[in-house]
Structure 1
């Protein structure tokens, strides 16, 4: 089962990525834009989702479009949680216990790509604009 060290290893390979400790746990930023974070059971989160987050490790990531988050939730509803809050949309939260390491690396890298400026994306991916 992947853990925060797996998120950390992926994030450390991404240009401009920075880990910060927040009141909710670990969080990763690129150029001061949040792209991945350890979820915390805040009171503003719906009760059913808050219970899951309180009981196990859940990570959230930014996604390019709300449709992407919907597709992930539809693909694996036992892994990808319903909406946590409306803040910071679009995003998706997932149970780390249900994620394969390769998929975790893909989710974190894509979240970084969504938030990273073009010059950093070019540094990692080449000619991408």
Structure 2
């Protein structure tokens, strides 16, 4: 089962990425733009989703396209949670106990790409 240390390991390899502690837990930013975070059971989250977040580790990440998030939820409802807030920003929340480490790394990297400036994406791609 992946942990926040697996998120940290992936984020550490992404240019310009930094981790900050927030009131909801750990969060990762690139150039002050949030791209992944530990979910907290805030009152604004629907009751059924809040119950999952309160009982296990859930991480959320930005996605480039909300259609991608919807597709993930439909393909793997055991891993991905439906939208966690009324705000319709493109993001996806997933249960850490149910996701594979490789898929986690891919999601974190793609979330970083969605927020990173072009020059950092080029730097990352040149090093890959």
State TM-score, norm by structure 2. 0.96
Given the alignment of the two structures, is residue 83 of structure 1 paired with residue 83 of structure 2, yes or no? yes
Gaps of 5+ in 1: none
In the aligned structure 1, how far is the partner of 2:82 from the partner of 2:66? 12
Given the alignment of the two structures, is residue 50 of structure 1 paired with residue 81 of structure 2, yes or no? no
Q: Report Cα offsets for 1:35-71 as digits up to 9, x if no partner.
A: 0000000000000000000000000000001100001
In the TM superposition, what are the counterparts of 1:25-44 in structure 2 within 5 Å?
A: 25-44=25-44
| Corresponding residue pairs, total | 126
Tell me the residue number matched to 2:123: 123
In the aligned structure 2, how far is the partner of 1:91 from the partner of 1:105? 16
The alignment partner of 1:6 has SS state of helix
Q: Which moved more, 1:24-33 or 1:79-88?
A: 79-88
Distance apart, 1:88 and its partner CA: 6.4
Question: Measured at CA, do residues 98 and 91 of structure 1 come closer, stay the same or move farther in structure 2, by a change above 3 Å?
Answer: same
Given the alignment of the two structures, is residue 23 of structure 1 paired with residue 23 of structure 2, yes or no? yes
In the aligned structure 1, how far is the partner of 2:67 from the partner of 2:78? 18
Q: Which moved more, 1:42-51 or 1:80-89?
A: 80-89
Gaps of 5+ in 2: none
State TM-score, norm by structure 1. 0.96
